Chain A
Amino acid sequence: MSSQESVIQSLLRETLESSLSPEEACRECPEMLPELLSRLAEVKRVEIDLDAFFPAEHVRADFDAKGALSRADILPRIPGYESEATIGYGGMGVVYRARHLTLNRHVAIKMLLAGGYAGPQELSRFKLEAESVAALCHPNIVQVFDAGECEGHPYFTMELVEGGSLAQTLAGVPQPAKVSAERVATLARAVQFAHAAGIVHRDLKPSNILVAADGTLKIADFGLARRAADDDSRAPLTIPGLRMGTPSFMSPEQAMGTGNAYNPSVDIYALGAILYELLTGRPPFRGEDPTETLRQVIADEPVPPSRLNSKTPRDLETICLKCLQKDPQRRYPTAGDLADDIDRFLSGTPIRARPVSAFERSAKWMRRRPAATALIATLTIAAGAAIATGLWMQRVASTRRTEAAIREHGARDAIESALSLVRDLRGGQRWTEAHNIIDSATTRLGDAASPTLEARLAVVALDLQTAQELDRIRQNYPEPAPGGFDYISPAKAYQALFARIGIGGGVPTEVAARAVRDSAIREQLLVALDNAAFLALVVQLWSDEERYLTIARLADPDPWRDRFRDSKAWRDRESLLGLIRDARSSGLTVPPHQLAIIAVLLSGLGASAETIAILRDALYRYPSDFWINHELANALDHAGQPAEACQFHRAALAVRPDNYNVWNALGTELEAAQGPPEAIVAYRKARDLNPHLFDAWQNLIRCLSLSGRFEEARAELGRASSFFPDKASELGSSRLHWELARRFAARKDWRASADAYAQATQNSYAYDGEAWFEYTAMLLLAGDVEDYRRARERMLEQSNKGLQRPFLTVRAYTLMPGAVGDFSKPAEIAAEELQQSGSQHWSLTQQGAILCRTARAGDAVPLLERSIEADPKPASAILNWLWLAHAQHLLGHPVPARQWFDKAASWLDEQEAAMSTNGWVLPTHIHNWLEAQILRREVAAELGVAAPRGGAAPAP
């Protein structure tokens, strides 16, 4: 340790143990203070971590198992920072005031609350972006320091600005033109600085602009907040319902969701909107609700600011309106250009922006409202004529009519634009928003007074409903059903829906096809027809399958798709593979639903490798599709890759956590991949979701038994029996008894084990040779020779019928010495199996055993020795050692007999001594171990050695 280090160490201890402040501790060595402070901060960090891991007892009272942050009033523990207070809430999350422990300065921490559970991808992307924003150092941009994650919630830390936001400062009051211009010029320069660094804000609005104590404007949340909200395909980082926020400052291309939201021109639009609000006290568009505002942003022209505030200079109005152009191309090319033009305005030089001419304005208006234009022209002429003739009353009446006409056409205009908006939203499956738009358009039907529009709106609403319903059917299948998955209900749902919209059975296919082709929701109908055809195939409604495919073919002719929509191709592996091949070679993008259909059909036709490849491909484009995840998991499981299958079933469960069949399937995959204990939770979940799911109970009880959790297994068995009173043995009581029997066996409780085996072999394992072999061995160990003989005779019977392995039967016979004739029958039926595996160690051992029992010990010795060579591991060779001891004894060679016996006995003793400490795990295969117990006893008696402990000797 260097001398400096030892000084620091003792300073640290001194500060920690006494009430001295770091400054006091460093009185005599002030140069050490910075290092001491930094070390103290590090210690503090570790202590914060320790507090989190090892909370004091009293913490439990307010301990919220769902994570402390679900309550925003609890301050987060962020390493390196000490949170002090909550200073604000927003759509995104909570902002805290905190102190940086090392730097001892105050910062603001913005934590995205609902965004917990963002994947590592999103988090690392979020961090990357925070890093790039952190690189922005500009006096008018809130400095971001770093980003991280706390308890699953992404956060970033930033400069603390305590003067409130521009929105709070303005409070709807118009500002003087000069002040407004200066402020927007400042903001535009900052925005330009960020754009030059490749960062677009995307959510500029007065509430995102902070005002420092000295009045400096600082733009907050550059890039970060919006970025997360855009990406709602995965985990939205916003709180549901607040996603939209106020769209008043949103550019039309963002509002439509069509344009590139990363384009800097969206910020220029927003700067214009901010200038508008500064000048007029209100944003350019503000509807009664976000949906209406959205519609206005997309479709309406802003009212010129000078109409709302007559003091607005004409040039500034021109600059403002140029920013608010619907077409991004017509706005300022850069924020810098905007700032320059404002500077020109401020210095009194001519600005570059040109006002929209009266002609252009009216041309624009007329383009969007041709009928209204014609009408108003007529009315204006009429009104002119009325004034000319001096008929005052008439003039008033006609003015009213003009107003009514304008209102009427305004309403029609709104409905028209709503109709087109709904079409876009429907394409993007944004059902809620589309419904909102229709609702708000419906309220204006009265003003519009147009039966045609009313009818069109009704059609669009109906189409929307149909499209949504089609989507729902597709998203919901396959529903789980006891014993499998329900494909019948969705097939019927499609049938009913098709009938309702006039393309159902009974309608000629040509007519139906024309209806599909002419429908506004043609694409959705075609997808539904493909899916319905597939379901019809699954539930064997062949005529429906043929019909749906025909309608789709007629409505949507295309060489590749015609080949796909062919029921013969669906039953032919080569055709399906050809379709995929051709699509690939011609660069054709096959929609996911068609990929999934082809893959599942191929899987049914035994092409599992191709199925997996195609489904993986489909998943990249459709990652959260339940059906594709589920089918991919199934395909992987069938292909013997249960570990991988787990991943996709988990993904499927993320989409639909209530699907008990998937939980059950996940359990079987976990069981195969990681062993029974890991599967228990999944089976339990399946069983909880549907207590009538027999498989789940069965699997659960089996896994509990195999994991040695017998008490739980017994309890579950009891509960299961109330649902399935007659199926106790199938539910796993046999498995439970078998595992119990083995456990008793390991503890050498032979009698209890034999009783458990008797139960196990009664039902499910009545034909299981392994259980029966263990049972016979156990009866012998328990000294129950009579039952042993009965049991082995039953094994012989079963083997005779070909129901059990003859090897196990003859092995059960050779466990006990007897007359030569006793062994002839079992040896005869086992001969073939033993011969086939003649060079395997187990076969050689058993052949030796038969020879020993039939008075040919001399022939047994070389076979037993060969068996040791074939597998010299003690766990296998133990039987050969014992049989060799027995054989040598029979041959009258006591010395080698004793040597073999001692070798076997000492290995067994050693292993068994270890068993009591390792949880009674057997040192070898249970069959070998049981046989070794029996042989050891027999040979010990022959050689006059004391019998090993445990168990009663077989009755004579």
Chain B
Amino acid sequence: MDERTTAAVQRYLLELKGDTPSDQVVRELVGRAANRLHLLCSSLLVQQYPRLMRPPLNLQSEEMLSSVVERLLKAMRDFRPENTRQFFGMATRHMRWELNDLARRLDEQTRALELRDELVASPASNGSVLGPRAHRMLDAIDELPEEEREVFDLIRIQGMTHKEAAELLGVSTKTVQRRLNGGVLLLTEKLSDLRPAIPSPGA
């Protein structure tokens, strides 16, 4: 469906060189971000909340996702970026907000579902909640230092290659890789409590 990111971004960069982007280019950029957001949301839904898509909720993912994407389009509609970097910064911020919001809503739905399970099955237990993993992860990403977050956003959220991100930021791919690793290390630290400790060998 999409063109490969490389080609698309190359073209944007070319068209944008020097002067303010035309409406046409912004529309295409927004369209690309919307597609990417759609993919991330459906992945979140399927990976983390598969139960919500089955009975009794039969969550209609398309319905939910289209409203998420619609909001992104709305938020970006009147935005006139001065360069691609600014555009991606803004778009990614909105995309993370939307993901966060979706995760929160899904958590609520899951809780509702679990409440039902409890009522129906046996009332005495406090069944474990699927866990606010998605939520926690998004929060932790939010808290990354500026440089690490920007690289993370471009690679993970916008789905760019290292080369594209490097070009956009005007740094080397090695720097991109270094910031990316730094981000993952910080995330690992922040999220370490999400899992039970695994005994390390020799300990």
Contacts and interface: CB of A to CB of B under 8 A. Distances in A.
A29 to B, nearest CB: 14
B120 A651 contact: yes
A52 B114 contact: no
Q: DSSP majority for the B interface?
A: helix
Q: Which of A42, A68, A116 has the most CB of B within 10 A?
A: A42
B201 A681 contact: no
Nearest to A663: B58
Nearest to B134: A53
Nearest to A685: B58
B51 A647 contact: no
Contacts of B130: 120
Contacts of B118: 120-121
A253 B99 CA distance: 53
Given A53-B47, A681-B60, A121 B178 contact: no
B121 A623 contact: yes
B30 to A, nearest CB: 17
Nearest to A653: B56
B127 A13 contact: no
Given A46-B188, A50-B184, A104-B201, A647 B112 contact: yes
A53 B44 contact: yes
Contacts of A34: 200-203
Nearest to B130: A120
Interface string B35-53: 0100110111011101101
Nearest to A632: B119
Given A42-B188, A46-B184, A647-B115, A65 B61 contact: yes
Given A43-B184, A657-B55, A57 B2 contact: yes
A310 to B, nearest CB: 55
A401 B7 CA distance: 89
B182 interface: yes
Contacts of A121: 117-118, 121-122, 125, 127
B137 interface: yes
Given A38-B198, A623-B121, A657 B43 contact: no
Contact of B201 (A38, A52, A56): A38
A619 interface: yes
Interface in A114-134: 116-117, 119-121, 123-124
B129 interface: yes
B130 to A, nearest CB: 8
Nearest to A61: B1
Interface in B93-124: 112-123
Contacts of B133: 49
Most B CB atoms within 10 A — which of A104, A123, A234, A650?
Answer: A650
B200 A35 contact: yes
Contacts of B122: 121
Contacts of B157: 54
A41 B198 contact: yes
A123 B128 contact: yes
Nearest to B122: A121
A60 B116 CA distance: 33
A151 interface: yes
Contacts of A619: 119-120
Interface string A480-511: 00000000000000000000000000000000
A16 B200 contact: no
A582 interface: no
A60 B58 contact: no
Contacts of A65: 42, 46, 61
A151 to B, nearest CB: 6
B176 to A, nearest CB: 11
A619 B114 CA distance: 17
Nearest to A103: B201
A56 B159 contact: yes
A490 B177 CA distance: 69
Interface string A28-41: 00000011011101
B156 interface: yes
Given A17-B178, A55-B39, A124 B127 contact: yes
A70 to B, nearest CB: 10
A619 B119 CA distance: 9
Given A80-B198, A151-B50, A619-B120, A120 B128 contact: yes
Contacts of A55: 39-40, 43
B58 A657 contact: yes
Nearest to A15: B181
Interface in B123-173: 123, 125, 127-130, 133-134, 137, 156-157, 159
Given A13-B182, A65-B46, A620-B123, A60 B39 contact: yes
Nearest to B123: A620
Interface string A394-433: 0000000000000000000000000000000000000000
A620 to B, nearest CB: 7
Given A42-B192, A47-B184, A65-B61, A53 B116 contact: no
A67 B46 contact: yes
A17 B61 contact: no
A237 to B, nearest CB: 15
B185 A67 contact: no
A102 B55 contact: no
Contacts of A67: 46, 50
A168 interface: no
A389 to B, nearest CB: 75
Contacts of B184: 16, 43, 46-47, 50
B42 to A, nearest CB: 7
A189 interface: no
B107 to A, nearest CB: 14
A79 B133 CA distance: 13
A87 to B, nearest CB: 23
Nearest to B190: A46
Contacts of A46: 184, 187-188, 191
Contacts of A124: 125, 127-128
Nearest to B120: A623
Nearest to A656: B55
Nearest to B44: A53
Residue picked from A13, A56, A79, A624, most chain B C-beta under 10 Å: A56
A152 interface: yes
B78 to A, nearest CB: 12
A63 B200 contact: no
A207 interface: no
Nearest to A120: B127
Give the one of B43, B182, B195 with max A CB within 10 A: B43
Interface centre among B4, B36, B195 (most CB of A within 10 A): B195
A66 B46 CA distance: 7
B63 interface: yes
B143 to A, nearest CB: 15
Nearest to B114: A120
B50 A13 contact: no
A35 B199 CA distance: 10
Nearest to B116: A647
Contacts of B4: 57
Interface in A715-748: none
A45 interface: yes
A97 to B, nearest CB: 19
B43 A52 contact: yes
B200 A120 contact: no
11 contacts: A17-B181, A42-B192, A46-B187, A53-B40, A53-B47, A56-B159, A60-B1, A63-B46, A151-B47, A650-B116, A657-B55
Given A9-B185, A657-B55, 8 more contacts: A17-B181, A34-B201, A38-B201, A53-B40, A63-B39, A63-B42, A80-B195, A653-B55
Interface of A: 9, 12-13, 16-17, 34-35, 37-39, 41-43, 45-47, 49-50, 52-57, 59-60, 63, 65-68, 79-80, 102-104, 116-117, 119-121, 123-124, 151-152, 234, 619-620, 623-624, 646-648, 650-651, 653-654, 657, 681, 684-685
